Amino acid sequence: MTTFDQLVRQVRQQLLGFALNQESVSELMVTLAPGDTTFQADPETVGNISRGLVEIDDELILVKKWDPTSGSVTVMGGLSGRGYEGTTAAAHAAHTLITSNPAFPKARIKEAINQTVSTLYPELVVFSSTEITKLAPQVEYALPSDLSDVWYVTGQMIGPSKVWQPLPNWRYNPKADPTVFPSGKSIQVFDAVTPGQSIRVVYAKTPNLLANGSDDFAATTGYPDRYVDLVVYGTCMRLLPALESARLQQQSIEATERATLVPPASAAKAMTMYAQLYQQRLQEERDQLYADVPNYAFFQGS
């Protein structure tokens, strides 16, 4: 089981390494409420905080000043400095870590993870199924609203064989009359199925996106857990260009000196590497998908 928070940590470790990046951190000494404009950091490590952005959980906060004696930190702009850069002002528990000027904020990583999950479709789909009872005079039947495309259709055979026979003669109607079919989607089945027997429609749908840190990847998205590394590679590919564009704004002595050690386009080269890993894993999973769930039924009518 891989949670949303665990995915974020895997991405951060890929981007920052396990020990090479030493971000400056402190910790909250008391609970921080969504409407607070000051907060209490650990006096022993408050010097690790600087003016600018700090990250607490998923929230970015703009810091104005801090008191090295008491550990009190003041937010710049009052409430305008809470929930900065599109994040949400939230409550934070005591002893939560405060990270100064995070290279890759958690909120941005989570956005990139969901963008990657979303764009896996239609290369990789989530499967579901629905069953229809064959009615003697009826040809067209309603389909679920979450259906994106019909993968295959089978019909239950009479007798004890328990065989579901592939039905090749069907037509998916994505623009069905909503007054008759509430989802606006239907299927027309032209094969001979004994009335009273079931017709099973296996269909593809889009993945659900992750929201809470505890969300389980497989249970929420519908994709198997083995897709986790694929999502990690795709997320890194999306985030790395930010490092390249940051080089265009080098203002500090440290950044200038570092530029001679880290050549231009280094982030672009790393992005290319992750793009290759992503494409390789995507093709592997696409091949596996068609092997596991072959699309062997199709409409043969005119």
Tell me: do 178 and 108 sit in the same domain.
no
Examine the domain organization and report whether 149 and 241 are in the same domain. Answer: no
With a cut of 60, say whether residue 301 has pLDDT above it: no
pLDDT at 291 over 60: yes
pLDDT greater than 70 at residue 89: yes
Per-residue pLDDT at 296 exceeds 80: no
Please state whether beta strands 164-166 and 126-133 pair in parallel, antiparallel, or not at all (unpaired): unpaired
Predicted pLDDT of residue 293: 83
Residue 192 pLDDT class (50, 70, 90 cuts):
confident
pLDDT at 49: 92
Check whether 258 has a pLDDT greater than 80.
no
pLDDT band at 248 (very low <50, low <70, confident <90, very high): low
pLDDT in tens, 138-153: 999 999 999 999 999 9
Q: Which of 14-23, 61-70, 129-138, 170-179 has the lowest mean pLDDT?
A: 14-23
Section 21-34 average pLDDT: 90
Q: pLDDT band at 117, cuts 50/70/90?
A: very high
Same domain, 152 and 178: yes
Residue 170 has pLDDT above 50, yes or no: yes
- In the chain, the number of structural domains is 3
Q: Looking at the domain assignment, is residue 299 inside a domain?
A: no
36 located within any domain: yes
* Residue 301 included in any domain: no
Residue 80 domain flag: yes
* Lowest mean pLDDT across 179-188, 260-269, 287-296: 260-269
Sheet holding 38-40, edge to edge: 25-27, 97-100, 52-56, 59-66, 72-75, 38-40
Q: Around Cβ 70, how many Cβ atoms within 10 Å?
A: 12
49 against 300, higher pLDDT: 49
Does 300 fall in a domain? no
If you ran DSSP here, which 8-state letter would residue 293 be given?
Answer: S
Question: Is 302 within a domain?
Answer: no
For the cut 90, the answer to whether the pLDDT of residue 260 exceeds it is no
**Judgement on whether residues 35 and 1 belong to the same structural domain of the protein:** no
Two structure tokens written together for 51: 């003016």
**Does 272 lie in the same domain as 131?**
no
Look at residue 284 and tell me if it is in a domain.
yes
Q: Identify the domain boundary among 205, 238, 269.
A: 205
- Residue 290 burial (10 A CB sphere; 0-12, 13-18, 19+): exposed
Q: Which residue has the higher pLDDT, 243 or 248?
A: 243
Same domain for 92 and 59: yes
Do residue 157 and residue 232 come from a single domain?
no
The answer to whether residue 40 is domain-embedded is yes
The reply to whether 118 and 168 lie within a common domain is: no
- Which residue among 170, 205, 240 closes a domain? 205
Give the predicted TM-score (pTM) of the model. Answer: 0.86
Q: Which domain holds residue 262?
A: 1-21+104-124+210-294
Identify the domain boundary among 179, 205, 231.
205
Q: Which residues contact 74 (CB under 8 A, 6 or more apart)?
A: 37, 38, 63, 64, 65, 66
Tell me: do 161 and 194 sit in the same domain. Answer: yes
**Residue 170 and residue 261 in one domain:** no
CATH number of the CATH domain containing 43: 2.40.30
Say yes or no: 49 and 194 in one domain: no
Q: Over 50: is that where the pLDDT of 67 sits?
A: yes
Round to the nearest angstrom and report the end-to-end CA distance of the chain.
47
- Are 145 and 254 in the same domain? no
